[in-house]
Structure 1
Amino acid sequence: MINWISYFCIILGIVFWFWGTFPLLGKRSLLFKLHSLSVSDTLGSMSIIFGLLLKIPSQWSLLVLALISLAIWNTVLGYVLAYCSSSGGANER
């Protein structure tokens, strides 16, 4: 049963990765594209890591560290991209 849940999480993560790629082809703004890509990439990567955590629980410390690092890194990167793309960013120096 755990194997099935693990495979489901990994497949769900791959689906999130591809789902975030499709808005890049649309005609929306760059910020919308970046936001949808970063959110789906984060959810997909976290789902894959959680699936691996279920599959190989002996490596729980490294996988939990990867989950925490992924959540922090993608959140900070989103704020940096939003700041750099705003009109109050590097243009006012």
Structure 2
Amino acid sequence: MINLLSYTCIVLGIFFWFWGTLPLLGDRSVLFKLHSLSVADTLGSMSIIIGLLLKIPSEWPLLILAIISLAIWNTVLGYVLAYCSSSEGSHE
């Protein structure tokens, strides 16, 4: 049962990775494309890490650190992108 749940999380993560690339083909703005890609990649990566956590629970400290790092990195990257795209954050 744990193996099935683990593989389900990993396949779901790979699905999110591919699903996040679909908006890149659209006509939306670059920032919308970056946002949707980063959200889908974050969810996909976290899902894969949770699947690995279920598969190899002996490595839980490293995998929890990976999840926390993903969450912090993508939050900071989102703020940096928002600041760079705002009119106040533009080059003066």
Cα distance in 2 for residues equivalent to 1:18 and 1:70: 18
* Counterpart position of 1:15: 15
* Counterpart position of 2:91: 91
Cα distance in 2 for residues equivalent to 1:82 and 1:30: 12
Give 1:8-87 correspondences, 5 Å limit: 8-87=8-87
Give the aligned residue type for 1:68: I
Give the aligned residue type for 1:16: F
Displaced runs of 4+ in structure 1, greater than 6 A? Answer: none
Unmatched tracts of structure 1, length 5 or more:
none
Local SS of the residue matching 1:87: coil
Give the aligned residue type for 1:52: L
Give the aligned residue type for 1:28: R
Equivalenced residue count is 92
Cα distance, 1:87 vs. partner? 1.6
Cα distance, 1:90 vs. partner? 3.6
Could you report, residue by residue, the CA deviation over 1:23-51 in whole angstroms, capped at 9, with x for unpaired residues?
Answer: 00100011111110010000000000000
Unmatched tracts of structure 2, length 5 or more:
none
